[in-house]
C-alpha cells in the first residue's frame, strides 16, 4: 500500500499538467446589437461600390441560365451549379450566377 500512494500522486500530477496543456476555450464573441449605431469608419461602412453592377442581373433570378447574358456582359461571369467546386478568390467585378440542379438561377452575387 505505501508504494501505491506515490504512484497515485504522480498520476494525479501528470493528469493535471496534461489538462493545463489542452486546447483553450475561445472567448464568446461580443454580440452586436443592430439597433446601436456603429462608429464611423467601421468595415461595414467602407464597402466598395457595386463594381459588378448587380442591379442589372438580379432580374434573372428564377430564369433558366440560358437566358442570362453570360457572354454579352463586359465583366467576368461565373456560372456555379449546386455541386460545383469554385475558387475562393474575390473579384469585385465578377458576377456569379448560382443555379439549381435544373439550371434555374437561384441567386446572383458579386465576387
CA angle (7, 10, 13) in 5-degree steps: 150
Measured distance CA(105)–CA(111) in Å, rounded? 16
Asked which of 24-28, 37-41, 64-68, 98-102 is least confident by mean pLDDT, the reply is 37-41
User: What digits encode the pLDDT tens for the residues 41-76?
Assistant: 555 545 567 788 888 889 999 999 999 888 888 889
Q: What is the pTM of this model?
A: 0.56
Measured distance CA(52)–CA(73) in Å, rounded? 10
Q: Collapse the DSSP code of 91 into the 3-class scheme (helix H, G, I; strand E, B; otherwise coil) and give the result.
A: coil
User: What digits encode the pLDDT tens for the residues 27-38?
Assistant: 655 555 555 555
The residue among 69, 60, 41, 59 whose CA lies nearest residue 105 is 60
What average pLDDT does the segment 8-24 reach? 66
By percentage, how much of the chain surpasses pLDDT 90? 29
Amino acid at each position: 500500500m505505501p508504494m501505491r500512494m506515490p504512484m497515485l500522486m504522480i498520476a494525479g500530477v501528470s493528469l493535471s499538467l496534461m489538462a493545463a496543456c489542452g486546447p483553450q476555450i475561445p472567448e464568446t464573441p461580443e454580440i452586436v446589437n443592430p439597433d446601436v449605431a456603429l462608429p464611423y469608419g467601421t468595415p461595414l461602412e467602407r464597402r466598395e461600390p457595386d463594381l459588378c453592377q448587380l442591379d442589372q442581373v438580379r432580374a434573372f433570378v428564377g430564369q433558366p441560365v440560358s437566358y442570362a447574358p453570360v457572354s454579352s456582359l463586359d465583366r467576368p461571369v461565373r456560372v456555379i451549379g449546386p455541386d460545383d467546386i469554385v475558387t475562393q478568390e474575390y473579384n469585385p467585378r465578377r458576377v456569379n450566377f448560382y443555379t439549381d440542379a435544373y439550371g434555374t438561377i437561384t441567386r446572383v452575387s458579386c465576387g
